[in-house]
Chain A
Amino acid sequence: MTRETENVLLLLVGVAIGMIGVAGSYTRYVKPALLPWLLLAAAVLIALALACIVRDVRRGPPVADSGEPGHRHRRGMAWLLVVPVAALVFVVPPALAPRAAAPSSIAVSTEALRRPYPPLPDEPAPVVRLPEVLRRAANDVAGTLNGRTITINGFAMRDGDRVDLARVVIICCAADAQLARIHLAGPAAADLADGAWIRVRGRVVPRPADGNGLAIPTFTVADVQPIPAPANTYDY
């Protein structure tokens, strides 16, 4: 691969990273908080490539790169950079499917984590994110979920004759994805289609005093409403 082609590939990697940042598809792969750093990295790569291209056009390529034996033939490795460019710009793989996330419980419960949580908003059925519901169900000693009707968004997940409400949760990038889930109980939950996006209203069954914090809690459903799938399917 020639130096000019390498510069173009450098430029293309920068453009690809910038494009997924601007188009928003980056949320399929990493957490939203990374956006400024992605745009910054894209800008640096594009500037670096342009600086090298402009200098080569003005003065010709530097001598240092041409004369070294053993350096040349390995430069074919740079072709690998075509793979992420093609993947991010042309193929754009979808967000992780629920079955691909590690089947672990999100609510990390040890006795050390148990603490009183602040009360939920004073509304009839406040919307609470699923990971937050699980953390409160496992660790809250103030019992803020007890006797409260809440609303949770997520997708239905059929597992044998059980139905769960689930979200795929990522911490940093898609490689560390985990599945947050809560069992649904009640007639309203019985005939939900697998993968359907829903908004459920109901109550979390309180954890028994001697219960295991690792057990997946159960949610008694009062009513179910279908919702459109969100643009960003992950939760954090």
Chain B
Amino acid sequence: MTVALARRLGSMELLIATLVVFALTGELIRGLVVGSPDLSTAATIFCGVFVQAVPFLVLGVLVSGLVAVFVTPERLARWLPRRTGVAVVAAGLGGAALPGCECGSVPVARRLFGEGASGAAALTFLLSAPAINPVVLVATAVAFPGQPGMVVARASASLSTAVVMGLAWSRWGRLDWVTRRLPRSHDADASRWTVFTEAARHDFLQAAPYLVLGAAAAAALHVLVPAWVFEHLAGNLALGILVMALLAVVLALCSEADAFVAASLTMLPLLPRLVFLVVGPAVDVKLFAMQAGSFGRAFAVRFAPATFVVATLTAAGVGYVVLGGAG
């Protein structure tokens, strides 16, 4: 009905009407939200996740705008090493150059994504950029003082996850899963400024609504997942690993903050906490929503679960070697 109404009224009139309604009922909604503890927690966490992510998303769409101007698929193919394996490793290490949270790397990876080696390299970049950049590694070192093994394990497990997923894509991935197309500019002589602003505008509008969905999902799960989950895991290592991996998915923390949260869960051994740090930046509810928005649902429902399994196993394996079995 809303759609039919929108067609008759025009979307601008509908937007203005919606805003007027919110302006008039804002106090009323505020009263409802404040009156219910769960609702007010969820609303505050929703705003927290969204506001926190916006600067990183803006940085991401600015970079993706620059990519649209300067990195044509032909140029990228020329820059990348010819062999897929080498190209994927190079892209993984290249991820260290984009300091920021995971929200920013989705639009950039979508711009870089193409056929063949560049597709695998773009996905490797997508997974490695939020996890192994200097800001995140320094935060991890600060959160786990006296345990340099944690930084080493996090960087190598995240990089391995990204490389494995890139290679897996080049082996089994299919381009027709990626249903979202970027608009082609028919205007061959458009100025660089036009190409840049159009790309940044498109990518923000493509990714931000899914950030809203993801932030809402994270806020709901925060309220619904009971706090005792954290406290009853110390005994069983395998269960601890699985639950921490799932928690990383549902909490959707920023990759610059997750180390501090993991550090505070002192009742758990180091290994499950490492899994939390490796899975979080690679796959969480917010990222899943954004991947569905930028690449397409058929892609996201295959890529995200596969990443979850690979990240969990890699982190457990690397953690076992670097930190020792008991952590």
The reply to whether B33 and A176 contact each other, CB–CB distance below 8 Å, is no
CA distance A114 to B40 in the complex (A): 38
How far is A44 from B201 in the complex, measured between Cα atoms in Å? 11
Instruction: For chain B, residues 156 to 192, give those with C-beta under 8 angstroms from any C-beta of chain A.
Output: 181, 183-187, 190
Q: Which residues of B contact A92 (CB under 8 A)?
A: 26, 30
Chain A, residues 19-58, CB within 8 Å of chain B (1/0): the string is 0100000101110001001101100110011011001000
The reply on B227 being an interface residue by CB < 8 A is: yes
Q: Are B51 and A86 in contact (CB under 8 A)?
A: no
B257 touches A173 (CB 8 A): yes
Q: Which of B79-87, B110-118, B210-218, B302-310 contacts A (4 or more CB under 8 A)?
A: B210-218
Q: Residue on A with the closest CB to B263?
A: A108
B44:A90 contact, CB within 8 angstroms = no
Segment 193-240 of B: residues with Cβ below 8 Å from A: 193-194, 197-198, 200-201, 204-205, 208-210, 212-213, 215-216, 218-219, 222, 227, 230
Contact A38 B254 (CB under 8 A): no
- Determine whether B97 belongs to the interface, using a CB cutoff of 8 Å to chain A: no
Q: Name the segment of A75-83, A122-130, A181-189, A222-230 touching the other chain.
A: A75-83
Indicate whether A112 reaches chain B with its CB closer than 8 angstroms: yes
Residue B48 interfacial (CB < 8 Å):
yes
- Is A29 touching B48 in the complex (CB atoms < 8 A)? yes
9-residue interface stretch from B15-23, B120-128, B316-324: B15-23
B10 within 8 A of A: yes
Instruction: Tell me, yes or no, whether A87 is within 8 Å of chain B by CB.
Output: yes
List of B residues within 8 angstroms of A106 by Cβ: 264
B-contacting 9-mer, from A93-101, A151-159, A196-204? A93-101
User: Which of these, B12, B19, B33, B215, contacts A91 with CB under 8 Å?
Assistant: B33
Q: Nearest chain A CB to B18's CB is how many angstroms away?
A: 6
Give A127 to B47 CA distance when docked, in angstroms: 32
Give CA–CA (A12, B55) in the complex, Å. Answer: 15
Q: Is the CB of B266 within 8 A of A105?
A: yes
B3 contacts chain A at the CB level, 8 A cutoff: yes
Q: Are B253 and A176 in contact (CB under 8 A)?
A: yes
Asked whether, in the complex, the Cβ of B40 is within 8 Å of the Cβ of A94, the reply is yes
Distance, CA A44 to CA B186, complexed state (A):
26
Known: A71-B181, A91-B26. A174 touches B44 (CB 8 A): yes
**Please, how many angstroms separate the alpha-carbon atoms of A93 and B15 in the complex?**
22
Closest 9 CB pairs of A and B: A112-B146, A174-B48, A90-B26, A172-B257, A93-B43, A173-B48, A173-B52, A100-B41, A37-B55
Interface residues of B (CB under 8 A from A): 3, 6, 10-12, 15, 18-19, 22-23, 25-26, 29-30, 33-34, 37, 40-41, 43-52, 54-55, 58-59, 62, 143, 145-147, 181, 183-187, 190, 193-194, 197-198, 200-201, 204-205, 208-210, 212-213, 215-216, 218-219, 222, 227, 230, 251-254, 256-258, 260-261, 263-267, 293
